[in-house]
Amino acid sequence: MQGVAYGAADVATGEILGKLFQGGKMLLGASKAEETIVVIGEGMGRVKDAKGALLENGAKNVEVFQPSSDAMKEWNALTAGGEYLSADMVEGTMLYKENVNWIQQATQSGKTILDIGNDGRAMESTFYQMEKQTVYGK
């Protein structure tokens, strides 16, 4: 899919070089600096770190999923005390539904999507699985 890169944004055009979190330096070409880059991946801490790295390297517009306060309140109540939610339960939450809408809009808009991949956990989250399905169609 055009506009989707795995590990580095727009690898095919060479506009951004390097690898996140592996000591590589990213170079952001002027033509891409004004475009919006959407970051997805496993672990919101890593996703936010990638956003910061892109901004530090010249990107002007970087988006990550930002849930509403109501969605976060619902999520926090459901997961209080370390409660595990099944995939079906996750898919019924406001947080999940907002994430679905966000990634669908980002994909349909033609924005460059940077997928920083899995963080090494044995099972991918329901959220990241859905984002990959939406972006890659697999």
Residue among 118, 116, 124 at smallest CA distance from 19 = 116
Residues 31, 14: Cα–Cα separation, whole Å: 11
- pLDDT-derived band at 23, boundaries 50, 70, 90: very low
Residues 47, 45: Cα–Cα separation, whole Å: 5
Which residue intervals of the chain are DSSP H helices?
Answer: 30-33, 44-56, 69-78, 87-91, 94-108, 126-136
Mean pLDDT, range 78-91, rounded to an integer:
92
Residue 111, pLDDT score? 84
- pLDDT-derived band at 58, boundaries 50, 70, 90: confident
